[in-house]
Structure 1
Amino acid sequence: MSVHVRTIFKRTPELIHACVRPRRSMLYLPGSNARALEKAATLPADSLIIDLEDAVTPSAKVDARNSVAEAVRARKYGKREVAVRINPLNSQWGEDDIKYIAAAGPDAIILPKVEYPDQICAMEDMIKFYDASQSIAIGAVIETPIGVINVNQISNATSRLCMLILGTSDLTNDLRARHVPSRSPLVTSFGLCLLAGRAHGLAVIDGVHLDLSDDIGFHYACEQGRDMGFDGKTLIHPKTIATANEVFGLDSSVVVHAQRIIKAFETAEREGKGVATVDGKLIENLHAEEAHRQIAFHRMVCELEKGIR
């Protein structure tokens, strides 16, 4: 069963895949660090976000852009998603970032500080000139109160948009909130972004955990994000990849249970029934659809992991 993506757009198969591909772990890499770009080919992250924005000083941005374009063209990252976070379009680097990076052909280009749908539309217009394959997806970082308020319109801007990424550190600061373990000041923003993303068939990715010494807190944040509905988490250090993959992945018991649900519901349908039971619990069509989604996701993860070893 294919994964259903709700959208008013008719997406190409490549862009549908861009919406549903595994993103349990999305690792930020500084575009100016050649060693990090080389090492990334050995890391088990589902997705790499090569950064030209915050992680690169102004004096190094042009050289970093050239290095990143070369790394993307080299196609050395296997089946991992390769995304590049560019500088804002209204900066002195943004338009040239798109020109050189789109021509190199990454899987996605990520725009920071998205507050209005027009930003995504303008970005798409630029990408069209340089994307020979016409398959580069767009990611939007939502990290300001205005971005959160407008997230539904942003999510509906273009069929190329495949994911929303929460910029939780900037958002917390802009809200004048405190960085607390429960992340309670962000719950409303999380909910609005998840609602918009799901309504328009997008992946929605949780923000980074800044305290690298806090393993327990990081694990809790991953579980919290998973339980809220996020597809994965952005990361700033390779040591956190395994935990994110584990928490946002499916263990064997979940996969087996999903298979049982599918089998039970198919049997019920053959018997002319609209419901089934598994372990005494009522199973309806919505449970069968979720089980199919879990099985499809598990298969994509297995295929991805084969391609990055």
Structure 2
Amino acid sequence: MFRERNLAVGKRCLYVLERRCEFALEDSSMKVSPAFPIDSVTVAPIQLPEKDEDVPDNANVTTIGWGKHWYFGQIQDGLRKVDIHIWQQWLCESVWHDINYNVHPTQICAIRFKNNKHYDACTVSKRRAGGENSEDTYEVLAGTNSVTEGGTRHTVTDISSHEGYNASDSWVNDIAVLKVSPAFPIDGVTVAPIQLPEQGEEVPDSATVTVIGWGKLWYFGPFPDGLLKVDVRIMQQWLCESVYADINSSIYPTQICAIPFEDGTYYDACSGDGGGPLLYEGKVVGLVSWGYYCGEPPYPSVYIRVSSYVDWITERTNGSQLYH
């Protein structure tokens, strides 16, 4: 959840291709049916290197995929390619070692060209909980600050996603109501309801708010075992809109932005905090939605503005168990 430093590697946009660096033996082969219709025109085999054949340092290489336009951009409709170049192994190992990751001899590193394009491989994100046609099974953990012990687990039996949710348009309306079984054991001590704002209620600019979650400690970091929190501050809506307009992303009135304090630490929400609460004066005023890396200046984290959806939540829950 918290970014311990402003990592230079995030700005260099370095990637370990072929296998992620935290999985030294991550490799597999697949068998498909029916067989590929190899015609050497639209479908053709590709040549493999010789065993232990090396690629020269600084060699131009090409990566191909259907990944996003940029980290928080939309998935491509068409296959794309971009040229990058091989990085020296020792230098790649050194950079990743600084954030406690290992790069193994079975891995190879490539980095974007130093120009104004900044093109490189990017991510294909998993479907969000509540996304259309989701077949995944979800559980909710309640009554503990640890993901490894204590608390009670509750199976999600129904997901009511917002009908206007659009992942390709700044994740607008990124909210869902979950129904679980068994019911939460509300005791007011380890499990308790949280107060909602009134419909349309505003949070003052520059207000100190608190975000809570089990997200990563930094962008390429590990997940914590314990629940963490950090104070951030509300950013003016017009400023948030302006900052994200620079990378062609929209900010909507139903979203609210918060930015780390300018103390050099850049603590903020991170990967894995999605859906977590943003709290102000005892109310959940936001839900973690998206952002640019984790606490990367000048980009704030973007949250769903809960006060824009109180009537929608009431409708989806038949008005039951809502606390104002």
Q: With structure 1 as the length reference, what TM-score do the two structures score? A: 0.22
Relative to total residues, which structure has the larger helix share, 1 or 2? Answer: 1
Relative to total residues, which structure has the larger strand share, 1 or 2? Answer: 2
Bigger Rg, which one: 2
Q: With structure 2 as the length reference, what TM-score do the two structures score? A: 0.22
